[in-house]
Amino acid sequence: MHLIPANWSHFHLLVSVFPSVGLLFAVGLYVAAMVANKGLMQRVCLLVFAGMALLGIPTYLSGDGAMDALAGRPAIPVDAADLHYYWSWAAFALLALTGVASLLVLWRSRDLERPSTNSQHVVLGLALVTLLLMAIVGELGWEIAHRELGLPPAGGMLGGTSHIWSHIHIILNHFPTVGSVVALLFLATGLYKDNDQLKKGGIVVFVMCAVLGATTYVSGAGAMWAFTDPAVEGISQVRINMHRDFAILSLFGLAFTGGLGWFELWRYRYLGRFSSLSMKLVLVFAVISLVIMAETGHLGGQINHPEIRDAAEVLGTDPSAFWSPRIELLINVIMWFVPWQTVHFFGYTLVFATVLAVSLRIFGIWKSVSFPAIHRIIPLGVFGVMMNVFSGMLMLMADTSRYVNDETFWPKMFFLPIGALAVLYFSLSDRLWQVKAGEDAPMSAKWVAVLVLFSWTVVIMGGRLMPYINL
């Protein structure tokens, strides 16, 4: 019901993120298809480019209608709205050109195994420039309604929580939702065509959404404190807690979808096929998670967008009448906090031990072991990551303000998704998988291993230093 637009502003909020974020995921898969020389996957990506161009039409029209609807509101800066409008013209024109070029390439290569190299690069270049323009348009659009982005910077618990967290959350929160839609499209097409590359592409995006879901949740926790420390006029704690309750469910849904998807990637390396049952479970988890995320996004949008609220809605007045504040109170009791902190430390031990063992083999130590043999221990590290996501979420809820204002928390959260996503390479690289006992790993794998090892070292150091900073 909340996906039915109530007005032009609501419609614009629903569709505006799809052309930009969807195109970003499609570009990533398109580059992967170009490198792997997979014709069918390239064609699906070109169709997605064309689809994003079509979505640009309702995005532009709804934005035009939203400008008229919001023109009378004194809180809406006219200059910022006009600047957003003019830039959107350029982005829309280039998005349309990218879509037309994609359809033209599809048509010209209809009898070929794959599009020509030159045409692939032309479309890729247009898509990358379009993404740059849409990033500018998105930033200008956020500045229209999100007045907190213009507030003076704050730092530390005495000076308030920085609205950088709010800014990061505005950017990140669209990725798990839109990414899940793109992943569903690729996975469903892969199942229909029985194409393992398309299935693999969809699963990779699901894993990326799961990782980004964790960072989105953390940035949302920081944004909550930015709105309440100090308090921003017009922001309701009740609405924030409604949004937080569904955010927890979204985090669980993304974790189950991404975790099961990654396990299938790992398992595929040994069996050479995907489990039909597992693929169906991934689809079920993904659809359920997407429905929950849609509600989460709607409730989050209501926090700062009064134009999409239901005028007849009766809002409660008790912020504690939700799961999130109750969990906060429970986890602040030492007998509950310490066990979860212990689980968190065990999780990091599993992660770092796995990363170290795999990296050392790639660097040339333990060459008597083939890479497929060392690859068998990676699920231990992934299990450690899952332990850390859920235990870390609970620990964050116990003392959010201290964590998000700690200098060592920033590098921890910056390198955590980098380290987690880079590990995907170990299960995707065909060259690395072919490394036998006594053979050296390719140089590209060694660079990835350095990145993974460095990232998780920073993450663990950042976590351990937090109790000793800002005491």
Tens of pLDDT, residue by residue over 106-136, are 999 888 888 888 999 999 999 999 999 999 9
Q: What is the mean pLDDT of residues 161-188?
A: 90
pLDDT confidence of residue 122: 94
Query: Is the per-residue pLDDT at 308 higher than 70?
Result: yes
Better pLDDT: 323 or 183? 183
pLDDT confidence of residue 158: 45
- Band the pLDDT of 332: cuts 50, 70, 90: confident
**How do residues 22-33 score in pLDDT, each as one tens digit?**
999 999 999 999
Q: What is the mean pLDDT of residues 235-259?
A: 90
pLDDT confidence of residue 144: 78
Query: Is the per-residue pLDDT at 99 higher than 90?
Result: yes
pLDDT confidence of residue 72: 61
Query: Is the per-residue pLDDT at 471 higher than 60?
Result: no
Cis peptide preceding 74, ω within 30 of 0: no
Query: Is the per-residue pLDDT at 157 higher than 50?
Result: no
pLDDT confidence of residue 374: 93
Assign 103 to helix, strand or coil: helix
Cα four-point dihedral sign 25, 29, 32, 34? negative
CA atoms within 13 A on the CB side of 260: 18
Cα four-point dihedral sign 267, 271, 272, 274? negative
Counted residue by residue, the chain has a size of 471
pLDDT confidence of residue 317: 67
Q: What is the pTM of this model?
A: 0.90
Assign 231 to helix, strand or coil: strand
